[in-house]
Amino acid sequence: MGRDDRYHGSRRQVLRAVTAGSVVGVTGLAGCVGDPEEAANGEEEFDTIELGVLEPFTGPFADLGEERTQGTELAIEEINESDEFDFEIEYETYDTQSDPEDALSEASEAVQSQGAQFLTGCISSDVALSMNDFALDNEVLYTPGAADVAITGERCNEYVFRFETSTAQIAEAMAQWTYEEQGDQIFYHLADYAYGESVKEEFSSRMAELSDDYEEVGETRAEFGAGDFEAYITQIEGAADEADAVVIGSTGEDLTTFLSQAADRGLPDEIPIVTTTASFTPVRAGAGDAATGVFSGVRYYPDLEMGDNHEFVEAYEAEYDELPDNFSRVGYDSIRMMVRGIQEAGSDDPTEVADALGGLEQETIFGSNEFRECDGQAVNPVWMGELVEGDDLPDVEILMEIDGEEAIPACEETGCER
């Protein structure tokens, strides 16, 4: 068998290979070698679908995983109570522990033990990307939660549909606002891993399009999970006179700690701090006062007057006694959109659902929306906001809105082939 023969990991291609009779030298191995597809089931009526909810309930993203699961569970509850659908969702939760190996093991359990045809979840990019591959290999539909561009970009596949707003989309709002309000001399502070890198890439390419004079004044890179940013803050302070703004490409604990230390040093008074995710509730709660005066791309805010967001917020508050945040809405509408795809396909077969779901126009908390056929990315609007003093934690004041079509990169620029 030479390298010309195309063998992929998926069961479907196995069938092709086997029927083409190209399994040379294997058939003789045992008397009972044959076609693996014989074991496959035919189509049948369904009144339940099995969903695996894979979230990091332990580890650095645990609070986000918890938050997202609340949204997911709310959607499931509503769907199971509603007459609109002919089926109910059964689900189980699995702890990915923010580790790809654990996540893959848990995903296998969901698919093989629980019989899940649909998977949702994962916050960090490496885990979500490993799940991307898993979904393709096992032919199950997957709705991730990470913002990494590659998920619906270079490493996309036809089983992955993302309601989470990608870094490319959020960078659109950040770049436009920064250019218009602050200027084009930019200092970058990045967490030195894929996320930080993609923030810079997306932001700077948009900046270069907007302004001919765009210049990168300087850059600092901190290890992922560095825990201490004093040295970088000193460098940013040193460049504060030349730079119009500092763009922060980090999230989670990296961002909260950075903001805390930056506030102690008075950095927000010296240079505007532009972030991707300071608007997240855990960041605002963690950084507290230190987050006020910081600018942030906004993927979602509860006061939003769009689609059925108002109903969502009310239901969410009634259920959990708190306001929903970005990941709650990702969990919530990932499930609702997926379920409408199942309804449309009239099948619980993930491949058929995936075919039906791509490009299916539907009502979401962002109003009319769809997972694009070309890359499976939802066409979400994005905002730019400033964190201002609030009661318990800083509030997000919206400064600017960019609608979904404008924010999303053109299909041919995504690098996604599916």
Partner 1 sequence: MLGTAIQQLLDGITLGLVYVLLAAGLSVIFGVMNVINFAHGELAVLGAYLAVAITIQTGIGSTAFVAALVIAPFLVGIIGVALERYTVQPLYGRNPLYHILLTFGLVLVINDLVYLIWGTGSFRLPRPEVLTGTIGAFGLGVSSYNVFMIVSGTLMAFAVWALLEYTKYGLIIRAGSQDRQMVRNLGIEIDRYYSLVFGVGAGLAAFAGIILAGNRQANPELGMSIIIPAFVIVVLGGLGSFKGAVVGGLLVGILQESILRPWVPWLEGMVIFVLMIAILLIRPHGLFGTELAEEGGSERLLAGRAGGLLERGTRLKLGLVMVGVLALVPIVAGLLGNQFWVTFGSRVLVWALFALSLDFVMGYTGLVSLGHALFLGLGAYAVVLGLIHVTSSVFVALAMAIALSAAIAWIVGFLSIRVAGVYFAMITLAFAELYYNLLYRLEITGGSEGIGLIGHDYYYGIAGLGASLDDIAFFVGPVVLTGHSLFYYVVLGALVASYFVTRRMLQSPFGSVLKSIRENEERATFLGYNTVVYKRRAFVVSGAFAGLAGGLFALNNAFVSPSAAEWLKSGEVIVMVILGGMGTLYGPIIGAGAFFGLEQLLTHYTGRWRLVLGTIFVLFVIFLPRGLVSVPTLLAPYLPGGPGPAADPGQLPEDAGTEGDD
Which among 75, 29, 8 is positioned nearest to 329, based on CA atoms? 75
Whose Cβ is closer to partner 1: residue 221's or residue 340's? 221
| Residue 323 within binding range of partner 1, rule CB under 8 A | no
Distance CA(135)–CA(350), nearest Å, equals 10
189 lies in the binding site for partner 1 (CB under 8 A): no
Minimum distance, C-beta of residue 177 to partner 1, in the bound complex (Å): 27
Q: Which stretch binds partner 1 (CB under 8 A): 109-117, 310-318, 357-365, 380-388?
A: 109-117
Q: Binder to partner 1 among 139, 181, 192, 355 (CB under 8 A)?
A: 192
Q: Measure the CA angle with vertex 371, ends 366 and 377; round to 5°.
A: 95
**Rounded to 5°, angle at Cα 411 from 183 and 351:** 135
Q: Which helix (H) or strand (E) holds 356?
A: helix 350-357
First-to-last CA distance in the chain? 27
Binder of partner 1 out of 19, 48, 82, 234 (CB under 8 A): 234
Beta strands in 303-381 (DSSP E): 362-364, 367-369
Q: Write out the binding residues for partner 1, residues 67-106 only, by CB under 8 A.
A: 94-95, 99-101, 104-105
Q: Exactly one of 75, 122, 129, 379 binds partner 1 (CB under 8 A); which one?
A: 129
What is the rounded CA–CA span in Å between residue 217 and residue 86? 58
Question: Which of 88, 90, 109, 216 contacts partner 1 by CB under 8 A?
Answer: 109
CA 114 to mean position of chain CA atoms: 24
Q: Is 23 in the site for partner 1 (CB under 8 A)?
A: yes
Q: According to CB under 8 A, which residues from 137 to 156 bind partner 1?
A: 137, 148, 150, 155
Q: Which range, of 42-50, 132-140, 203-211, 375-383, touches partner 1 by CB under 8 A?
A: 132-140
Interface with partner 1 (CB under 8 A), residue total 94
- With respect to partner 1, which residue has the nearer C-beta, 92 or 181? 92
Q: Which of 139, 216, 237, 373 binds partner 1 (CB under 8 A)?
A: 237
* DSSP label at residue 150: G
- Asked whether position 216 contacts partner 1 by CB under 8 A, the answer is no
E strand or H helix at 192? none
Does 217 sit near partner 1 (CB under 8 A)? no
Please, what is the angle between helix 62-81 and helix 326-345, to 10°?
A: 40
Q: Is 209 a binder of partner 1 (CB under 8 A)? A: no
Residues 153-182 that bind partner 1 (CB under 8 A): 155
The reply to whether 244 sits near partner 1 by the rule CB under 8 A is: no
- The answer to whether residue 195 forms part of the interface with partner 1 (CB under 8 A) is yes
Q: Which two tokens stand for residue 51?
A: 């969903």
Spatial distance between the Cα atoms of 206 and 404, rounded to a whole number of angstroms: 16
Single out the residue of 189, 149, 106, 211 nearest to residue 408, CA to CA.
149
**Which one among 19, 48, 266, 323 touches partner 1, defined by CB under 8 A?**
266
- Tokens encoding 416: 């996604």
Tell me the CB-side half-sphere exposure of residue 129, using CA atoms within 13 A.
Answer: 13
Which tokens belong to 154?
A: 């270079």
Sorted by sequence, the CB contacts under 8 Å of residue 7 that are 6+ apart come out as 1, 13, 17
CA diameter of the chain: 78
Q: How far is the CB of 167 from partner 1 (least distance, A)?
A: 13
With beta carbons less than 8 A apart as the criterion, state whether 376 and 161 touch: yes
Q: If binding is defined by CB under 8 A, does position 204 make contact with partner 1? A: no
Q: Does 411 bind partner 1 (CB under 8 A)?
A: no
| 36-55 residues near partner 1, rule: CB under 8 A | 36, 38-39
Spell 28-43 as b/e; 16+ CB within 10 A means b: eeeeeeeeeeeeeeee
CB of 391 to partner 1, least distance (A): 15
- For residue 85, the minimal CB distance to partner 1 (Å) is 27
Piece of 30-38, 68-76, 309-317, 337-345 that binds partner 1 (CB under 8 A): 30-38
Binds partner 1 by CB under 8 A, chosen from 75, 168, 174, 194: 194
- Does 363 bind partner 1 (CB under 8 A)? Our answer is no
Q: Which of 290, 304, 335, 396 binds partner 1 (CB under 8 A)?
A: 290
